Structure 1
Amino acid sequence: MTEQPFTLVERHACCGGEIRCLSHQSHELGLPARFNLFLPKKALAGEAVPAVYVLAGLTCNQDTFLIKSNAIRYAAEYGLALVAPDTSPRGADVAGEDEAYDLGTGAGYYVDATSDPWAAHYRMGSYVRHELPAFVEKHFPIKVGRRGIMGHSMGGMGALSVALGDAEAWTTVSAFAPIAAPSRVDWGQKATATYFGGYEAEWGQYDPCLLLQSGRTHPGMFLVDQGLDDEFLTRLRPDWLEQAARDAGQSLTLRRHEGYDHSYWFVQSFIQDHLKHHAEGLL
C-alpha cells in the first residue's frame, strides 16, 4: 500500500464545499507544514477547479485568512478553491524565533533566508512559489497552472512579489494593505539583518517596488485595497507602490478607503471584489 503523502488533520463542511486542514512533510522547510484547502462543490464531485492562494500577515497562521476574511463564501459562489499556507515554519528551534512578533515564528515574509541558522528552515519563498502549488495540483482536483494569489499585509507583499517573480505561473493577483517596499521600512530592515545577514541586495527578489523598478511586471491587473485609517500606513507605503507601478507600466488599481483600518473587518468589506477579480481571470 502506498503511503499517503499528507495527513488530514480536520475536515469541515462549509458553504456547500469542504475545508480540509492538512499536514505534509515539506522538502523546502525541512519540517512538517500545514495548509488549509477549501474545495468548492464542483471539486468535491471530481471536477478540477482553479485555485487562489491566500497569504496571511504577521502573527497569523494557515487558519487566519480563511476564518476571518469571509473569502470562502465567495469562492464557493464562483467555484474556486482556496489554498492557505502557514506564515512561517513551525518547530525550527532557531534561537530567538519566538521573541518578537515581527520576526521568526509567524513572520516568514515569504522569503528564503540565506543566513545561518535561519537558512535551513526559513524558506517560505520557495515553499509558496514552487513546492505548495505543485503538491496541491498533484494530489487534489485543482487545475494545473490556473492559479491566483492574494494576501493581506505581509501576505499582500508576498502575493505581489510571488507574481512579479514568476508572472507566467500566476494568472491573477490582488492584495490588501501590502507592505509595498519591505527593504525600506523597519519590518523589512529587521528581517534583512536576520534572514539575510545584513545583505540588503537579497530583497531584490521579494520587494514589490524593487521588482517593479528592475523591470519585472505582470501581464494582469493588480487589484490593491488600502484603508486610510490603517495604523501601519507609514510602513506600508502604497504611494511608493503606485509610483513604481506607474514607472514600470504595470497595470494597477489601487483603491483608498476612508475610515478603514488594517484589520480583517477591512478585508471582509472588499473581499467579494477580490474573489470576483480572480474568478474573472481564472474561469
Structure 2
Amino acid sequence: MDALELVSSNKCFGGYQKVYSHESSELKCKMNFSIYLPPQADGGDAKLPVIFYLSGLTCTEQNFISKSGFQKYAAEHGIIVVGPDTSPRGVKIPNDDESWDFGVSAGFYLDAEKEPWSKNYRMGSYLNKELYELIQKAFGNIVDPSRVGIMGHSMGGHGALVSVLRNPGLYKSVSAFAPICNPVACPWGVKAFSGYLGDDKSKWVEWDATELVKKYDGPPLTLLIDQGAGDKFYTEKQLLPENLVEACRSVGVPVILNLRDGYDHSYYYISTYIGEHFDFHAKILKA
C-alpha cells in the first residue's frame, strides 16, 4: 500500500478533521482525501462505522468538510467520514480544464473508456476498490469493514447511488442530496458520458442509477433522496429524481424522496438537512 502523507489536521467537535495525500495506482497521480475521526476513535476498543461522501461538480475534498457542518453529527453518532476528491488532479490532459462540467473536478465517479481519459479518469475503481481498501487497511484498528455507508451531492449523489447499485453489499446505506439521477437523459450526463465513455449508449446505462436499479438484486437497500424544490438544476431537468423514484417503485426497491420547499443546490441547503442524513445512516449502520 502506498504511504499516506498527512496534509492537515484540525480538532473539531472533539475529533479530528484530517486530509491525507497518496499516490493512486488507479488514477496514476497524487490524490487527496479527507477523513473525519470522531472522538470515539481515540483509544476506544470498538470499531466504528464509516460513511464515504462524494462531492459534486467543481469541488475538491475541501467543500464538504468546510461548508456542511457534518462533523457535529458524525461526532454525536461516532461515525468516521471519508471524502475523496472528485477527479484526478495534475495529470495534464489537453483541454481538461476548458469547461466546469467535464474534465478536472468533474470525474463523474465512473471508469472512462475513451481516449485520452481512460488512463487516468477511473474514479469508479478508485473509489470502490483502491480508496475503499486503503481506508480499511490504513485505519483498520478503528474501521468496522461490515458497516460502511455512502452519500453524495449532485454529481457525487450520482456517484453514491451508482456505487451502491453496481457493487451490491459493499455499502449498507446510501443517501444523496440533489443527485443526478438519470444522467443518460440530462445534458450534464450526455456530455460526460459521451466524452468519457464514447457513443455506445449501452455503456452509458451501466453508470446510470435509474437504469441500474431496474436490475438490482443485492441485499435490501433503501435509497434516501433529498431535493431542494428551488434548485435551478432541478427545474432545468438536470437531476430528474422522479425518474429514479418511478424506476425504484417498478421493481420494489424502497425509496424516499424529500422535496424541500424553497431550498436550492447549495451547501446552505445541505447543512440544513445533513443531520437528518446522519440519523438515517446511523440507524442502518448501527443496527
Contact 2:2 2:22 survives alignment (8 Å): no
Say whether residues 1:242 and 2:245 are aligned partners. yes
Q: Which residue of 2 aligns with 1:53?
A: 52
Secondary structure (helix, strand or coil) at the match of 1:119 reads: coil
Q: Which residue of 1 aligns with 2:254?
A: 251
Q: 1:56, CA displacement in angstroms?
A: 0.5
Per-residue displacement from partner, 1:80-117 (whole Å, max 9, x unpaired)?
Answer: 00000000000111111100000000000000000111
The residue type paired with residue 31 of structure 2 is A
Q: Which residue of 2 aligns with 1:14?
A: 12
Q: Which residue of 2 aligns with 1:68?
A: 67
Q: Which residue of 1 aligns with 2:109?
A: 110
Secondary structure (helix, strand or coil) at the match of 2:245 reads: helix
Secondary structure (helix, strand or coil) at the match of 1:148 reads: strand
Structure-to-structure mapping, 1:255-266, within 5 angstroms: 255-266=258-269
Contact 2:228 2:269 survives alignment (8 Å): yes
Choose the corresponding residue for 2:23, options 7, 22, 25: 25
Sequence identity, in percent?
41
What's the Cα RMSD here? Answer: 1.4
Say whether residues 1:187 and 2:185 are aligned partners. no
In terms of mean alpha carbon deviation, does 140-149 or 100-109 score higher? 140-149
Q: Distance in 1 between matches of 2:219 and 2:94?
A: 38
The TM-score normalised by the length of structure 2 is 0.95
Unaligned runs of 5+ in 2: none
Change (3 A) 1:139 1:232: same
Q: 1:19, CA displacement in angstroms?
A: 1.1
The residue type paired with residue 17 of structure 1 is G
Per-residue displacement from partner, 1:120-174 (whole Å, max 9, x unpaired)?
Answer: 0000011111111110010112111310000000011111110111121101110
The TM-score normalised by the length of structure 1 is 0.96
Contact 1:167 1:219 survives alignment (8 Å): no
Q: 1:197, CA displacement in angstroms?
A: 2.0
Q: 1:264, CA displacement in angstroms?
A: 0.8
The residue type paired with residue 110 of structure 1 is Y
Contact 1:164 1:218 survives alignment (8 Å): no
In terms of mean alpha carbon deviation, does 199-208 or 82-91 score higher? 199-208
Per-residue displacement from partner, 1:212-240 (whole Å, max 9, x unpaired)?
Answer: 12345651211111111100011101110
Q: Distance in 2 between matches of 1:128 and 1:216?
A: 22
Q: 1:193, CA displacement in angstroms?
A: 2.1
How many residue pairs are counted as aligned between the two chains? 281
Q: Which residue of 2 aligns with 1:41?
A: 39
Q: 1:4, CA displacement in angstroms?
A: 7.1
Contact 1:192 1:199 survives alignment (8 Å): no
Structure-to-structure mapping, 1:200-279, within 5 angstroms: 200-216=201-217, 219-233=220-234, 234-279=237-282
Change (3 A) 1:275 1:206: same
Q: Distance in 1 between matches of 2:120 and 2:74?
A: 32
Q: Which residue of 1 aligns with 2:97?
A: 98
Q: 1:177, CA displacement in angstroms?
A: 0.6
Per-residue displacement from partner, 1:48-76 (whole Å, max 9, x unpaired)?
Answer: 21110000000001011121111111001
Contact 2:112 2:196 survives alignment (8 Å): yes
Say whether residues 1:197 and 2:198 are aligned partners. yes
Secondary structure (helix, strand or coil) at the match of 2:148 reads: strand
Change (3 A) 1:5 1:20: same
Q: Distance in 2 between matches of 1:207 and 1:259?
A: 27
Unaligned runs of 5+ in 1: none
Secondary structure (helix, strand or coil) at the match of 1:246 reads: helix
The residue type paired with residue 142 of structure 1 is V
The residue type paired with residue 211 of structure 2 is L
Change (3 A) 1:280 1:57: same
